[in-house]
Amino acid sequence: MHLNHDRRAFLGTMGSVVAGAATTPLLAAAAPSKSSDAEVAVVELFRGLTPAQRKVMAFEWDHRAKDRGLLRTFVSNNWQVTEPHVTSDFYSKKQQMLIHDIFKALVDPEWYPKFLKQLKDDTDGRPWGDEQSIALFGEPDKKFQFVMTGRHMTLRADGNAEPHVAFGGPIFYGHAASGFTEKPGHPNNVFWPQALAANAVYAALDADQKKRALVEKRPPESAVSFRKDPATIPGLPLKELKGASLEKVNKALATLIEPFRKEDRDEVRACLAARGGLEACRIVFYKESDLGADGVWDNWRLEGPAFVWHFRGTPHVHVWVNIADDNSVVLNARG
């Protein structure tokens, strides 16, 4: 089964996430559906599981694990949601191909080889699937979620079963391209261009804005829950930016969401627009752990009322993403 990314259809045209949120279509129009490529493959995989396989990696929608809480919402930087690895004998070759199709459909086609490089680098050269595991929650004819985990990766597909959140819930990605502690500039790190895009925003700020955007200490990396009071978000309010600075913020956002499938990119923008757009967000850079003390900020965060994109670049890249259209959504994360 080989899925065709070109047949995806986005129902509606997204407006700017900086302004004009009122023109944004309903979130349902921007979100993945059960007819999206990844979800179609998830349903086929689910229906082909044996009873013995379901007992190990298929769970009720609200299954709770002793040490992880509501399992379908959990996220961490290095974890296995179930014990069998994708390429183990636990799955048939056809099932392995379906799982690969799901993974491939969740990322942008141009980013597929970059994700393969990241996964290979981060598992001592092992091929895709050797150190990743999956789980299924719910039922394909009702609501369901597929989750894939491993070192430096948590990805989800749910056909918009959770309509208030992007990506089906919090996700994680990362890369240690040249050892556990990377060199300044993060050579060969596939995600470092995201930090360069954020640093381009910093470079475009005036002296006062730079002072307010830069803080001393970074928070715990997994602390990406939504704040009850958006006024407590640290950093520089993006509503102050105009012209070239604002253009660089929009470019940075596009760079952040670029690795993922179009439906997820669209839902991120829709969630963001529903909570005031980028104008309601702040950007913050952290002096702490600046590799090489070069003033190219390795650690930074873009945050809004129900939007957190946290980039930890030291000692290597970890990125935590938590996005919704409702800031009452509870985070379930552990670093």
Of the pLDDT bands very low, low, confident and very high (cuts 50, 70, 90), residue 125 is very high
Query: Mean pLDDT in the chain?
Result: 92
> Residue 171's Cα: distance from chain center in Å?
4
Q: Mind giving me the DSSP string for 111-177?
A: GHHHHHHHHHHTTTTPPTTSS-EEEEEE-TTS-EEEEEEEBTEEEEE-TTSSTTBGGGS-EEEEE-B
SS3 236: strand
Q: What is the pLDDT of residue 121?
A: 97
Q: What is the pLDDT of residue 30?
A: 80
> Residue 233's Cα: distance from chain center in Å?
20
Q: Contact 305/325 with Cβ under 8 angstroms?
A: no
What's the rounded mean pLDDT across residues 285-303?
97
Rounded distance, CA 87 to CA 297, Å? 38
Q: Which of 21-25, 85-89, 269-273, 283-287 has the lowest mean pLDDT?
A: 21-25
Residue 21 confidence (pLDDT) above 90: no
Q: Where is 65: in which H helix or E strand?
A: strand 64-65
Of the pLDDT bands very low, low, confident and very high (cuts 50, 70, 90), residue 2 is very low
What's the rounded mean pLDDT across residues 114-118?
98
Q: What is the pLDDT of residue 23?
A: 36
Of the pLDDT bands very low, low, confident and very high (cuts 50, 70, 90), residue 17 is very low
Percent of the chain with pLDDT over 70: 91
Contacts of 143 (CB under 8 A, 6+ apart): 61, 158, 159, 161
Read off the pLDDT of residues 189-236 as tens digits, 9 standing for 90 and up: 999 999 999 999 999 999 999 999 999 999 999 999 999 999 999 999
Nearest to 117 by CA among 152, 158, 148, 165: 152
Of the pLDDT bands very low, low, confident and very high (cuts 50, 70, 90), residue 141 is confident
Residue 38 confidence (pLDDT) above 50: yes
Rounded distance, CA 103 to CA 157, Å? 9
Q: What is the pLDDT of residue 10?
A: 28
Read off the pLDDT of residues 168-198 as tens digits, 9 standing for 90 and up: 999 999 999 999 999 999 999 999 999 999 9
What are the φ/ψ torsions at residue 325 (nearest 5 degrees)?
-105, 10
Residue 18 confidence (pLDDT) above 90: no
Strand partners, 320: 172, 310
292 CB-side CA count, 13 A: 11
